[in-house]
Amino acid sequence: MFNQEPKNYNCPFCRMIKSGLQTEKDFVFENKTVFVCIALHQHENSGPGLLVIPKQHVENIYDIEDSLLAEISKVTKFIAIKMRELFDIQGITIWQHNEKAGFQDVWHFHTHIKGRLSDDNIYQTKQYEMCEAERSKLAEQLKEYIQNS
């Protein structure tokens, strides 16, 4: 329903799953149905951004099963709490895009969790691509905190 995924789409999230999530340097957490990684694109002057991604390929909110959506929400809450405890942030923003007009650019459902700082003006700041070394360091820090808490 309301699908815009191009024919023969080579999904980057499905490629990550097929290659083995534990090999991904920005991998943070997984369970049977979802995984969490550091977002490639970050906002200047704000806290870290992460993605919660279902392992099952589902294009958007219109196609996702309620049980899978509930699991994504549960993991999103869990990761948001861990981010709030670990990082020097003052809040969390959660968002999810659907269709081209809704700014969806990866045709695999996913939820963004963004650490926020007071007065970070996130919607007026530029995004940048976080290098692999920084994503890896951030992922290890969060992974270790989750395992030890």
The mean pLDDT of 45-54, rounded to a whole number, is 96
CATH no. for residue 77? 3.30.428.10
Using one digit for the tens of pLDDT, what is the confidence trace for 58-109?
999 999 999 999 999 999 999 999 999 999 999 999 999 999 999 999 999 9
| CB of 74 closer than 8 Å to CB of 12 | no
- Residue 1 domain-assigned? no
- Residue 95 domain-assigned? yes
- Residue 2 domain-assigned? no
Largest CA distance in the chain: 43
Q: Which two tokens stand for residue 108?
A: 């695999």
Report the distance separating Cα 64 and Cα 119, nearest Å.
34
Q: Which two tokens stand for residue 69?
A: 């959506």
pLDDT for the residue 19 = 87
Q: Which two tokens stand for residue 81?
A: 């709490």
Beta-strand relationship, 41-43 and 49-54: unpaired
Residue with tokens 């957490």: 29
Q: How many domains does the chain have?
A: 1
Using one digit for the tens of pLDDT, what is the confidence trace for 123-143?
999 899 999 999 999 999 999
DSSP 21-39: GGG-TTEEEE-SSEEEEE-
What predicted TM-score, i.e. pTM, was given to this entire model?
0.95
> Which range marks the domain in which residue 132 is found?
12-148
As a three-state string, the secondary structure of 76-116 is HHHHHHHHHHHCCCCEEEEECCCCHHHCCCCCCCCEEEEEE
- Residue 29 domain-assigned? yes
- Residue 54 domain-assigned? yes
Residue with tokens 């970070």: 120
How are strands ordered across the β-sheet holding 34-38?
27-30, 34-38, 49-54, 111-116, 91-95
